[in-house]
Amino acid sequence: MDEAGIEKTWDNQQQFREEIRRREGKDFVIKRVIKNVRDLINAGQNKIVLDGLYTLSEYKFLKHEFPGQVVVIAIVTPKHLRYQRMVKRIERPMQRHEVDQRDWSEIENLEKGGPIAIADYFVINDGNLDQLYQKIDAVTHDAHFCKSPEQC
């Protein structure tokens, strides 16, 4: 968006995401990231975190490229808390109806619901940041990503 000189508003970002996925496919982001993942693996990394799995196509691509090695953790927030947090955001705050509009758009146009629905683990983000980090540490330990929560 920066290169194209497009202002970063919710509407512009939504249109940009949907248009680029229409042109390049719903798995275009992961196809661009996969080279970096392979470089990390070749450098000896065997535990890699990717943030922002958006589409079911991306999920399927990862599962195909790394069979038996992908663990998906969905971080979800109760809707009433999402509404409260979104309206208070400094960057791109949203009203309740805008949150609902975005959610439906991401489910219908970006396949975002699929990876969440079939995630291996769920973290409920209903507290403060320290509580969220503790929950993530516990899940990554349970998923054998870390030897202990203190090492995450």
pLDDT of residue 23: 87
Please, how many CA atoms are within 13 Å of residue 132, restricted to the half-sphere of its CB? 10
pLDDT of residue 106: 86
The answer to whether the Cα torsion of 130, 136, 142, 148 is positive or negative is negative
pLDDT of residue 88: 95
**What does the alpha-carbon distance between residue 130 and residue 109 come to, in Å, rounded to a whole number?**
33
**What does the alpha-carbon distance between residue 12 and residue 58 come to, in Å, rounded to a whole number?**
22
**What does the alpha-carbon distance between residue 54 and residue 18 come to, in Å, rounded to a whole number?**
12
Token pair 């030897």 is at which residue?
147
pLDDT of residue 91: 83
User: Going from the N-terminus, what domains does the chain have, and what CATH number goes with each?
Assistant: 10-147 (3.40.50.300)
pLDDT digits (tens), the chain, 152 positions: 778 788 877 778 778 877 887 888 778 788 888 989 999 999 998 888 899 888 898 999 999 999 989 999 999 999 999 999 999 999 889 999 999 998 998 888 878 899 999 999 999 999 999 999 999 999 999 998 876 666 66
